[in-house]
Amino acid sequence: MAIHLVHVRRAPREGTTIEPRDERRLAELAKAGDEDAFAELVRGRTDSVVAFLRRMLGNTEDARDVAQLTFLRVWENLPRYDPTFAFSTWLYRIAGNLAIDALRARGTRARTLAESFRVVRGGLLATEPEAPLRLSQEEIRRVFDACATVLSEKQRIVFVLRELEEKESREVAEIVGCRESTVRNHLFQARRLLREELRRRFPEYAPAARPGAGEARA
């Protein structure tokens, strides 16, 4: 069985074209009570925040709800926004904290859903075991959601920000509120746990590893 990584080049998203400098300016205007500026900020960041929360929560509906709450928190806390920091860093910090709250609130339910997915998916795959498997984004996402239940909230947010949102370790550290070395540690642990979970639950997606591959320590 051959497995292909399906790489899709990131298409420019509508509504996410605001430059960081402009975001700071808009945030300053919004802080001063400019509702149009705030609407512009929300419009510009909706896609990225919903996508991030979708990866954190594994559910689009929950992601939208928490995204809405995130922007409401942003609006409430605008007077405390420090423009020396990037607006996106501040935004992701709020979104991340709310996502962690949501994960904690519904921890058991997420695990149950993930387990049930394993059963359904196994049944579907069994029908065509030798066919070359080109994974759809939807399936990759579902596999990730299933495997990510083994991660702690911190490990998950670090992995999502670093690996899926492609943020640098320095920015991840600012968002999560820890040191870069801690980010690296969380990232290493998250990768290890995901690797193990992938091999345990979805061996067909985890080809035989080369000795020592992927095990290097930060």
Residues within the interface to another protein (CB under 8 A): 2-11, 13-15, 35, 38-39, 42-43, 46-47, 50-51, 54-55, 60, 63-64, 67-68, 71-72, 75-76, 135, 137-138, 140-141, 143-144, 162-164, 166, 168-169, 183-184, 187-188, 191, 194-195, 198-199, 205-210, 213-218
Q: Identify the bridge partners of residue 4 per DSSP, sorted by sequence position.
A: 134
Using the minimum distance from each CB to another protein, give the nearer residue, 101 or 168.
Answer: 168
Using the minimum distance from each CB to another protein, give the nearer residue, 110 or 194.
Answer: 194
Dist. CA 77–CA 49, nearest whole Å? 17
Q: How large is the angle between the packed helices 137-147 and 107-125, nearest 10 degrees?
A: 130
As measured in angstroms, the least distance from the Cβ of 131 to another protein is: 16
Using the minimum distance from each CB to another protein, give the nearer residue, 108 or 130.
Answer: 130
As measured in angstroms, the least distance from the Cβ of 23 to another protein is: 15
Residue 25 burial class via C-beta count within 10 angstroms: exposed 0-12, middle 13-18, buried 19 and up: middle
As measured in angstroms, the least distance from the Cβ of 154 to another protein is: 16
Using the minimum distance from each CB to another protein, give the nearer residue, 108 or 132.
Answer: 132
As measured in angstroms, the least distance from the Cβ of 20 to another protein is: 15
As measured in angstroms, the least distance from the Cβ of 209 to another protein is: 7
In 10 A of CB 14, how many CB atoms?
Answer: 10
Dist. CA 18–CA 40, nearest whole Å? 9
Question: Quick one: DSSP state of residue 165?
Answer: S
Question: Quick one: DSSP state of residue 133?
Answer: E
First-to-last CA distance in the chain? 32
CA dihedral (91, 94, 97, 100) positive or negative: negative
Using the minimum distance from each CB to another protein, give the nearer residue, 154 or 162.
Answer: 162
